[in-house]
Each structure stands twice: as structure tokens, then as C-alpha cells.
Amino acid sequence: MKKSSPRILFVDGPNLNVLGKREPSVYGGQTLEDIRKDVSDAARREGAAVEFFQSNHEGEIVDRLQRARGEVDGIVINPAGYTHTSVAIRDALVYCALPAVELHLSNPSMREPFRKVSLVEDVVAGRICGIGGYGYVLALQAILHLLREKGRDRAGR
Ligand code: DQA
């Protein structure tokens, strides 16, 4: 049987559409398009299929996560400002029942106190923070690793 490519959905929350122009000293100079190109190149090398979604609207992110259930194999999510406030995005991630990696360009733990709280950190497999745009490529590698481990577990190792 031909092994199909793992499908990974990247979800980006509010204000990440203006990366590059937005506080470059915190988030770096890369645009979201630049980052997506690097992720797509890495995905091609890894034999993975990637899809990207960005929205400034909480409900649209919830809708996209709901559709992801059964449609993709894993999720990389940067909920951006909603990381610290959104029970709805957390609940949608739980509903997905998919391996997920939480990602931040900056390291929220080193910033204002309100950023130290993540409402999704305990419903994801792991977190990558503070590595800038390259964190997205690392997150792709991380989620593919988790999926490979899961496959091995299923096969009984
Ligand atoms: C962010 C960190 C959040 O605190 C912030 O609201 C963002 C971006 C990051 O990628 O570092 O919008 O998620």
C-alpha cells in the first residue's frame, strides 16, 4: 500500500498577517508569506502536505479547527493574542482530537505577565517559543516526529 503524505494544518491567529511590519524587534522581519515559503520548502523535503490558514477572527479559527477533524493529521497553531484569552479555541483544539504543537515567534514567558498564561498549553503535545519565524519549520519537524512515533506505537513497535 502506498503511504500517503502526512497532512499538516498551520493555523495563525490575529495580527500575524502583518508580520514583517509588526514590532519587528519582537517578531522579526519575515512576513507570513516568507515563513510559509520556508515551511513549504521543508515540507517538500520531508514529503508532507501543508495547508495554511490565518484569521483575525476567533470564530473563523474555531470553524477551521472543527473542519480539521478527520481532514488533516496534525496541527501547528500560533493562536497569537487568543493564546491568552480564548476558551473557544482551546475547546475546538480538544474537539479536533489531533496531535498539535503550539508555536510562538517570541517567548511569551519572558514578556508581560498576561502573556505567561496559555489556555492551550495543556491540550497540545508541545510548545515552541522564542525562535522567531524558524520556529515554524521546527514545529513542522516536531509534528512529523510525533506522527511517526504515533504510527510506530500503533504498529506495536
Ligand atoms: C505571539 C505572542 C502573543 O503573546 C502575541 O499576542 C502575538 C504573537 C508570538 O508568536 O510570539 O500576537 O503568539
> Could you give the CA distance from residue 19 to residue 35 in angstroms, rounded to a whole number?
10
pLDDT confidence of residue 1: 46
Fold of 7-155: Rossmann fold (3.40.50)
6 lines ligand 1 (CB under 6 A): no
Determine whether the shortest distance from the Cβ of 118 to ligand 1 is under 6 A. no
Whole-model pTM: value is: 0.95
What stretches in the chain show pLDDT beneath 70? Answer: 1-3, 157
Q: Per-residue b/e over 113-138, b at no fewer than 16 CB within 10 Å? A: eebeebbbeebbbebbbebebebbbe
CB of 83 closer than 6 A to ligand 1? yes
